[in-house]
């Protein structure tokens, strides 16, 4: 394991698999965030999960004993709306998505439709109600009418669950649409896209090279940090394993590898704070 020797100027945290797993905070998460806040170091939370809107994350974190302001949370619901407003403000949308994203799109003023002849943008997302009907609509809008483009909220293959299980995520739905239409997804609106990083750092006057991205996924969390030239910390509490990291060439490895997220606090500060691994 390799941990930092100094604090960063700001921290961006993935949530599921990094701060919590399922309905429980991971060891050290609460005291880490509390210590960073005590030092007045900016903390942002960033998630590729579009099945919750930011308000739902606020409620979940509060319920886990980690109160957080809405302004400190960004996820693919936020970035999808921002990108659509900037690039396709008048588009008719067909979101293959769950209610939080669909509801947010309507509240943002977009028209949703399941009429393939009217759809301009098909949005592939994490959707546990995905079925053949939705695939047919996307197929007709893209392949038959040659009208719609395909975008995705996030590129994750699966969502990790406690006990080593998981659920198929957005990448599976994107792949199904690409396979039958012969088209390619045009835009990814989640990590590792810079769209996510720009949103997370919005309003912070910090040098990106002095920030730390903290997550459990090499292809999203860590890749985004590498692409942006920022430091990264991979926690082994979610998807990535020590073996996965060892298999990477040096240029693609995270800056730090941690067995628990509070190892972000330098070892010298652990001693000053009187922390032990038995504490939460």
Lowest mean pLDDT among 4-18, 131-145, 192-206, 220-234: 192-206
Asked whether 273 and 38 are in contact (CB, 8 A), the reply is: no
If you average pLDDT over residues 162-167, what whole number do you get? 81
Max CA pair span of the chain = 65
Query: How confident is the model at residue 2, as a pLDDT?
Result: 76
Which tokens in the block code for residue 60?
A: 């979940």
Domains of the chain are 10-48+191-273 (3.40.50.1000), 77-188 (3.40.50.1000)
The Cα–Cα gap between 212 and 44 comes to: 10
Residue 100 pLDDT greater than 70, yes or no: yes
Residue 3 pLDDT greater than 90, yes or no: no
Per-residue pLDDT reduced to its tens digit, 218-232: 999 999 999 999 999
Per-residue pLDDT reduced to its tens digit, 172-214: 999 999 999 999 999 999 999 988 999 899 899 899 999 999 9
| DSSP SS3 for 185 | coil
If you average pLDDT over residues 134-160, what whole number do you get? 95
Number of H helices, E strands in the chain: 10, 15
Residue 50 pLDDT greater than 90, yes or no: yes
Query: Rounded mean pLDDT of the chain?
Result: 94
**Pairing relationship of beta strands 10-13 and 158-160 according to DSSP bridges:** unpaired
């Amino acid at each position: 394991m390799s941990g930092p020797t100094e604090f960063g100027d700001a921290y961006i945290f993935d949530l599921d698999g990094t701060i919590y797993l399922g309905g429980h905070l991971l060891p050290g998460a609460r005291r880490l965030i509390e210590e960073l806040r005590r030092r007045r170091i900016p903390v942002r939370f960033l998630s590729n999960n579009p099945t919750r809107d930011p308000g739902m994350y606020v409620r979940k974190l509060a319920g886990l004993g980690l109160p957080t302001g809405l302004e400190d949370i960004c996820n693919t619901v936020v970035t999808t709306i921002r990108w659509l407003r900037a690039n396709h403000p008048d588009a008719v949308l067909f979101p293959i998505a769950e209610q939080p994203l669909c509801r947010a799109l309507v509240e943002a003023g977009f028209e949703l439709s399941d009429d393939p002849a009217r759809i301009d943008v098909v949005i592939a997302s994490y959707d546990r109600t995905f079925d053949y009907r939705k695939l047919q609509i996307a197929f007709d809008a893209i392949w038959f009418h040659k009208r719609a483009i395909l975008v995705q909220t996030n590129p994750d293959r699966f969502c990790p669950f406690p006990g080593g299980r998981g659920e198929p995520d957005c990448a599976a739905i994107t792949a199904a649409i690409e396979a039958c239409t012969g088209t390619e997804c045009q835009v990814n609106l989640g990590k590792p896209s810079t769209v996510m990083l720009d949103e997370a750092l919005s309003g912070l006057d910090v040098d990106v090279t002095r920030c730390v991205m903290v997550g459990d996924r090499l292809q999203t969390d860590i890749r985004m940090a590498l692409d942006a030239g920022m430091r990264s910390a991979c926690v082994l509490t979610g998807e990535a394993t020590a073996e996965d990291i060892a298999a990477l060439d040096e240029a693609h490895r995270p800056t730090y590898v941690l067995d628990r997220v509070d190892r972000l606090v330098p070892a010298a500060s652990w001693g000053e704070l009187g922390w032990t691994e038995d504490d939460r």
